[in-house]
Structure 1
């Protein structure tokens, strides 16, 4: 039986190495895996069902703000995700929490905080720094709308946001063009969007550079 495993997803090799060092020192009973892009996160989770927690950077290649968090939570709801980010504005921390993260570790945090956060989440709890930002009803509504999408629909939505046509999406995801059309219709209906452009704008709002 495979060992329980922790996945560190960050595109900065030095920071990834530092986090892995903390995990191997404090959680020796766990194996560790690493990923440097949103696509690798997805393929790693597919190949390793023994992963019990993901430490996830928000700004990896292929990620649009909170898109990878939402994708992992949608496809693997049983795996908790802890965001690890250099942007620790209260608004970002609150959005991570509302979009389903089990914890948030600022990249400036000491090793003790990383270990405490991982331990708390592995124990079924959560770990967030103190926050001043209020809960956002708009974010809560956005999270609820996106939660209606299947993992495949979410992938199609991200392709729409990249400006891809149905034919290109079909090629990108290995689907029949007609299947993509069905998905697009369902996505627009679930998100209450009138056009692909409106859906793309909605994805844009997931990006984590907003501080207001």
Structure 2
């Protein structure tokens, strides 16, 4: 269990001005998103012991987290609880991944169901850590995710992923179903642009962009913008006919 010791400072309070160095001399900056103050304090304390020079930011909800990420583009990793007030399922994970697709998210959750862990990864999480893990496992999870790896606890990762109904065509084939305008919208979604930004660049109305996004989701057989980004990450768009 992550022990409760002295807390780090926060955006809901303030923080250390220095950060632990990453490779290349860059500073380590982490965001903790959890609506339980005592657990935020415990998690911040555990992280401070492992990364004593790290700058820690804290948020008690998804809205606050997005504000902090918007103000601090140098944040290296978000640690997110799935179960918070006002959030259902993977809504919080999807909201952050859609707006800030370049910031990896490590789920730190009280849930230990392997099906939830696998689904969180499908929705864009870079790792999953139960709240009951020890500090060494938490430290390893943070280090591996920061290094670009996907972290899952061995006992949960060994469980089979849930079987999903229906076989999808390869992603390149699904991308090839898109019209030229939908391909342009897809390219902007992959760049993290919002509907209003897409509408401005294409000189079309918001409703037109929404219609394109809905068709893209349908044709790619996904349910969120985050899944669009994840599933198309390695597509050769020149070959698929999208040359953007």
Whether TM-score is above 0.5 comes out as yes
Label 1:135 to 1:116 Cα distance change in 2 as closer, same or farther (>3 A).
same
Label 1:140 to 1:77 Cα distance change in 2 as closer, same or farther (>3 A).
farther
Larger radius of gyration: 2
Indicate whether 1:187 and 2:213 are aligned: yes
Q: CA deviation at 1:6?
A: 0.4
What TM-score, normalized by structure 1, do the two folds share? 0.68
Q: How many residues of Structure 1 are paired with residues of Structure 2 in the alignment?
A: 169
Structure of greater relative contact order (alpha carbons < 8 Å, 6+ residues apart): 1
Label 1:139 to 1:55 Cα distance change in 2 as closer, same or farther (>3 A).
farther
What per-residue deviation string (whole Å, max 9, x for no partner) do you get for residues 7-42 of structure 1? 000111111110000111111221000011111111
Counterpart residue number, 1:87? 111
Counterpart residue number, 1:27? 51
**Residue 80 of structure 2 contacts residue 105 of structure 2 at CA under 8 Å; is this kept in 1?**
yes
Label 1:136 to 1:43 Cα distance change in 2 as closer, same or farther (>3 A).
farther
**Residue 107 of structure 2 contacts residue 129 of structure 2 at CA under 8 Å; is this kept in 1?**
yes
Counterpart residue number, 2:127? 103
Counterpart residue number, 1:8? 32
Label 1:101 to 1:184 Cα distance change in 2 as closer, same or farther (>3 A).
same
Label 1:30 to 1:136 Cα distance change in 2 as closer, same or farther (>3 A).
farther
Counterpart residue number, 2:145? 121
For structure 1, the residue ranges without an aligned partner over 5 or more in a row are 154-177, 194-198, 207-212
Q: CA deviation at 1:136?
A: 4.3
Label 1:140 to 1:20 Cα distance change in 2 as closer, same or farther (>3 A).
farther
Residue among 42, 49, 68 paired with 1:18: 42
What is the alpha-carbon distance in structure 2 between the residues aligned to residue 106 and residue 12 of structure 1? 15
Indicate whether 1:37 and 2:64 are aligned: no
Indicate whether 1:134 and 2:158 are aligned: no
Q: CA deviation at 1:115?
A: 1.4
What is the alpha-carbon distance in structure 1 between the residues aligned to residue 161 and residue 72 of structure 2? 37
Which one has a larger percent helix, Structure 1 or Structure 2? Answer: 1
Q: 3-state SS of the aligned residue for 1:29? A: coil
**Residue 84 of structure 1 contacts residue 107 of structure 1 at CA under 8 Å; is this kept in 2?**
yes
Q: Which stretch shifts more, 78-87 or 2-11?
A: 2-11
Q: 3-state SS of the aligned residue for 2:129? A: strand
Q: CA deviation at 1:92?
A: 0.4
Instruction: Kindly report the root-mean-square deviation, in angstroms, between the aligned alpha carbons of the 2 structures.
Output: 3.1
